Amino acid sequence: MAQIVGALTSSHVPAIGRAIAKNLQQDPYWKPFFDGWAPVHRWLAERRPDVAVIFYNDHGLNFFLDKLPTFAVGAAPQYRNEDEGWGIPQVPVFEGDLDLSWHLIESLVADEFDITSCQEMVVDHAITNPLQLMYPDQAWGVRIVPVCINTVQFPLPTARRCYALGEAVGRAIRSWDSDARVVVLGTGGLSHQLDGQRAGFINKDFDLAFLESLEHDPRWATQYSIHELVEKAGTQGVELLMWLAARAALGDGVKTMHRNYHIPISNTASGLMLLEPAA
C-alpha cells in the first residue's frame, strides 16, 4: 500500500512567483521567507516522494463564480498553468497520476463526499508557487493530484467538513495499491485580507495559535464557523481550510520537522510547516 511520508503547508501569494522570476531570493525583503525552505529541500532529497496530493483553492483560472464546486479532484494526465494576469511566468507542465486520482475520487464518493471529477484542469499560483518553492529548478520531483476546495464564494464548506475531507483523503491514499511515497500539501493563508475596510489585516496571534494547534490539537480550528474564521484570519485567510485538510490526512499523531512564520510577504502573513506521521 502507498505511504504518506509527510505533509507540507505553505503560503502561495502571487508575489512569490514574481520574486522567483526576478531572482529576489537574497533580497532583504524576501530572504527570511526563502531561507525558510532550505530544510524542506533537504527533507525532499531524503524522503523522495513520488506523488503530491495538493489541497488548494482556485482563483478563477479553472473555475469562476458561475460554476464553482465545493470540492473538485483532478483526474487529468497533465496539468498546465496559464497567464493569470499577475505577471508570473508560466512553468513546465505537471504530470498527473491517473491511478491515484480515480482511486481518490471513488473512495471519496464511497465516503459520501460529493466530488466534481475534472478530466481536464488548469492550475494557478496556488499550485505553481509552492511547487516552485519545493523544486527551484522546476524539474518537478512529483506527479500531482489537485484537490480543490472552495474558499472563494459563499457558502464555504465548514472547517469541520474540510478536516473530514482530509481524513478521507488520507484513508484513500493509505489504501491505494501502490508502493508510492505520497506527500500531502495544503496551500494558502495565513491571515490576510485583500479588500474592504480591513484590507491589509494580519492576525499574528491567531496564526501562531493555529500553527501550534496543527501539531498538538489539530481539530482546534474546527470549533469556529466560517464567519468566525473570516473575522479572525481575514477574508482570504480562510484559506487555512487547505492546511486543515492536509493535516487531517496524516492521522492523529504527527511530529513537526520544520516551521517558519514571516510577516509580511506582500500583504500576507506567510507560514510554512513540514509534518511527518508520528508512527
Q: What pLDDT, in 10s, does the model give residues 138-162? A: 999 999 999 999 999 999 999 999 9
* Band of pLDDT at residue 103, cut at 50, 70 and 90: very high
The amino acid that residue 223 corresponds to is Q
192 carries an active-site annotation: yes
* Band of pLDDT at residue 60, cut at 50, 70 and 90: confident
Please give the pLDDT value at position 61.
85
Q: Put the strands of the sheet holding 143-149 in their side by side order.
A: 116-118, 71-74, 143-149, 51-56, 181-187, 3-10, 268-277, 254-265
- Which one from 12, 59, 103, 192 is the annotated catalytic residue? 192
- Which one from 59, 103, 125, 262 is the annotated catalytic residue? 125
In this structure, of 57-61, 192-196, 209-213, the range with the lowest mean pLDDT score is: 192-196
* Band of pLDDT at residue 195, cut at 50, 70 and 90: confident
210-227 burial string, b = 16+ CB within 10 Å, else e? bbebbbeebeebbebebe
* Band of pLDDT at residue 125, cut at 50, 70 and 90: very high
Mean pLDDT estimate for the chain: 95
pLDDT over 80 (residue 86) = no
Q: Which of 46, 8, 30 is nearest to 264 (CA)?
A: 30
Please give the pLDDT value at position 266.
83
125 carries an active-site annotation: yes
Which domains can be identified in the chain, with CATH numbers?
3-277 (3.40.830.10)
For residues 69 and 91, give the distance between their C-alpha atoms in angstroms, rounded to a whole number: 26
Please give the pLDDT value at position 189.
85
Please give the pLDDT value at position 265.
84
| pLDDT over 70, % of the chain | 100
Please give the pLDDT value at position 19.
93
> Higher pLDDT residue, 258 or 87?
258
pLDDT over 80 (residue 194) = no
Range 254-261 average pLDDT: 96
Please give the pLDDT value at position 34.
96
